[in-house]
Amino acid sequence: MKGYRLSKALQDHNSPPKMKQFVAEFDVMCARYELSAEEADAIARADLERLYELGANPYLIRFAFRDKFER
Amino acid sequence: MSHAPGISQFWETMAPERRDPLAAAYAQLGRELAELAPDVIVAFVNDHFRSFSLAGYPTFCIGIGSDHDVPMEGGDAILRMPRRRFKGDPELAGHILQSLMDDGFDPAFSGELKFFDDLSVPLRFLFPPDAPVPGVAIVPIMTNCIARPLPSMRRCHALGVAVRRALDRFPGKPRRVAVLGTGGISHWVGMPRNGDINADFDRKVIELVVEGRVDELLSWTDDEIEAQAGNGALELRNWVEAFAAMGQYVPRPLAYVPVIEAITGCAAIALDPIDVSGIGHRHLAEGAAR
């Protein structure tokens, strides 16, 4: 299913502090979730639009990158 | 009735021109519901990765718990509303579950559903928190509206019809049942257009409901809905199920406001049942009653 592993990575890191931890162990995490280079890059750049295009669940994008949505 | 965290979260600071019409509609629904004094509210709601996860995502799930915390632990601080414990109705919920199985649906069940804005926002406004916790029981019926692929709108309509059939053949002590459908309308959650509202789309939905053309909603694909009104509008499934469970009804739109604070097009529509039994009591609900 498109975006499943990417969504799973976001689900397991469903807040900005947890995403910070993901980034701190970036290579290990990307290997653990078997992310493609494209998916890893989208996370590294916090490119939310690209994450969505790659099939990440938008609710999980919102949780993981909540700080990018603050009004 | 629409739900979104911001409706509760930003209620106190919401601009009066948006809050006032909603407040009036919610107060009216609350008054009419109190007058009807239902024993049970069958609530068509949806999870937002609080009850379920990618480890397992049920298409439909019946809440069979004997009580429900509204909102879930921690939800009160975020939604800025008190946490209250509502009763469930395990007997009726169990009957609905079995009846759906007998009718060829295969819902999951849970006694540990976690409610966030989905159920908490409507209940905050239907039963203001400064009053004692109402005695009405809640039977939640969850539909996957957020982790595609989703059940088709037609399937959701059929589920609503089957829930009504279950209610009509409940062998236990008769209950007065109200129906609540909550979700949408337009909002983009975590998508590139996060924050947008498509008021034209929302008004079109309400128009279709008012004109009795819900069938047209059923033919919309999820790609079309998401492109026009965002992923949040996929929650219209809960509305469709409520309409179907109501059977014959007269829709009474009470308010529509594009609430920028809540990044959601917010509507309230009462559904007055056409009472086929001919009993002259005036029914209503937030969704509706019978």
3-state secondary structure B58-105: CCEEEECCCEEEECCCCHHHHHCCCCEEEECCHHHHHHHHHHHHHCCC
**Would you state the structure tokens that stand for residue B195, as one six-digit string?**
């924050």
Is A14 close to B49, i.e. CB distance below 8 A? Answer: yes
- Cis upstream peptide for B16 (omega within 30°): no
Q: Note the pTM of the prediction, 2 decimals.
A: 0.95
Tens of pLDDT along B230-278? 999 999 999 999 999 999 999 999 999 999 999 999 999 999 999 755 4
Question: Quick one: pLDDT at residue B248?
Answer: 95
d(CA B84, CA B126): 13
- Reported as type and span, the H/E element at residue B211 is none
Output phi, psi for B139, to 5 deg: -115, 100
Q: What does the pLDDT average to over B178-193?
A: 96
User: CB of B273 within 8 A of CB of B36?
Assistant: no
Token look-up 């849970």 returns B110
Does the pLDDT of residue A71 top 70, yes or no? no
**CATH fold group of domain B5-185+234-289:** Protocatechuate 4,5-dioxygenase; Chain B (3.40.830)
Question: Quick one: pLDDT at residue B165?
Answer: 97
B13-27, B91-105, B152-166, B264-278: which has the minimum mean pLDDT?
Answer: B264-278
Question: Quick one: pLDDT at residue A45?
Answer: 96
Percent of chain A as helix, strand, coil, to the nearest 5 = 70, 0, 30
Question: Quick one: pLDDT at residue B276?
Answer: 58
The SS3 call for residue B202 is helix
Question: Quick one: pLDDT at residue A1?
Answer: 85
Q: Nearest C-alpha of chain B: how many angstroms from A27?
A: 23
d(CA B162, CA B157): 9
Q: Nearest C-alpha of chain B: how many angstroms from A50?
A: 9
Question: Quick one: pLDDT at residue A56?
Answer: 98
Domain residue spans of chain A: 4-68
Q: How many residues appear in chain A?
A: 71
Question: Quick one: pLDDT at residue B284?
Answer: 42
Count the Cβ atoms, other than its own, within 10 Å of residue A58.
23
Does the pLDDT of residue A19 top 90, yes or no? yes
d(CA B183, CA B171): 31
**What is the Cα gyration radius of chain B?**
17
- Neighboring chain B residues of A57 at a CB cutoff of 8 Å: 146-147, 190
Sign of CA dihedral B146, B147, B148, B150: negative
User: CB of A48 within 8 A of CB of B193?
Assistant: no
Closest CB from A4, A8, A69 relative to B194: A69
Q: Nearest C-alpha of chain A: how many angstroms from B54?
A: 7
Minimum Cα–Cα distance from A64: chain B residue: B190
Domain residue spans of chain B: 5-185+234-289
Give the A-side interface with B, CB within 8 Å.
4, 7-8, 11, 14, 48-49, 52, 57-63, 65, 69, 71
Does the pLDDT of residue B286 top 70, yes or no? no
Does the pLDDT of residue B290 top 60, yes or no? no
Alpha carbon dihedral B235, B237, B242, B248, in 10-degree steps, equals 130
**Would you state the structure tokens that stand for residue A39, as one six-digit string?**
């998916």
Closest CB from A14, A48, A57 relative to B147: A57
User: Is the predicted ipTM greater than 0.90, yes or no?
Assistant: yes
Closest CB from B54, B195, B231 relative to A58: B231
Closest CB from B54, B190, B195 relative to A61: B190
Is A58 close to B54, i.e. CB distance below 8 A? Answer: no
* Geometric angle at alpha carbon A60, from A54 and A63, rounded to 5°: 135
